[in-house]
């Protein structure tokens, strides 16, 4: 049952990404270009998403457990370290350079666009390289 609900929620998320324009490279790059021809359309998408999440998270965390699990699995690490900062910086640079975020990239890959497919393939290769290198990194 959890897998069916995950599939439905993922499909709804994908529809939202597509409808909002988050899968269009030119829209994302326009939003990130705050010093040039700034396209603020995604600001509304982000504010709406943060608002809905904030309200529902506040309500849901009052429950003793989620609907489909025995407990909540929330992050416990609260300190900033080099790995977190470097990872966030690499993610941001990649997002700004490519104009594609991983989630919207996966959604947009069904378009068959060569640039999107190259991005997704590169992302998957990067994940595989990190998985093999990560055990050797300082903790």
Q: Report the predicted TM-score, pTM, of the whole model to 2 decimal places.
A: 0.71
* 21-36 per-position pLDDT tens digit: 888 888 888 888 888 8
pLDDT at 1 over 90: no
Rounded alpha-carbon distances, angstroms, from residue 68 to 6, 52, 97? 10, 21, 38
pLDDT at 128 over 90: yes
At residue 8, the pLDDT reads 95
The count of other CB atoms within 10 Å of the CB of residue 60 is 12
Is the alpha carbon torsion for 72, 78, 82, 84 positive or negative? positive
* 53-112 per-position pLDDT tens digit: 999 999 998 999 988 889 999 889 888 988 889 889 988 888 888 888 888 899 999 999
- Taken as a whole, the chain contains a residue count of 139
Instruction: Tokens for 98, please give them.
Output: 């490519």
CB-based contact 3:89 (threshold 8 Å): no
């Amino acid at each position: 049952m959890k897998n069916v609900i995950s599939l439905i929620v993922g499909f709804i998320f994908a529809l939202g990404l597509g409808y909002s324009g988050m899968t269009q490279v030119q829209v994302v790059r326009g939003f990130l270009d705050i010093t040039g021809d700034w396209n603020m359309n995604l600001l509304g998408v982000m504010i709406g998403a943060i608002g809905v999440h904030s309200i529902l998270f506040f309500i849901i965390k009052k429950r003793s457990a989620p609907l489909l699990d025995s407990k909540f699995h929330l992050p416990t690490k609260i300190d900033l370290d080099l790995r977190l900062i470097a990872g966030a910086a690499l993610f941001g640079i990649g997002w700004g350079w490519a104009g594609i975020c991983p989630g919207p990239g996966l959604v947009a890959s069904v378009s068959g666009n060569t640039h999107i497919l190259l991005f997704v393939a590169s992302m998957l290769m990067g994940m595989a390289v990190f998985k093999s290198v990560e055990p050797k990194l300082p903790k």
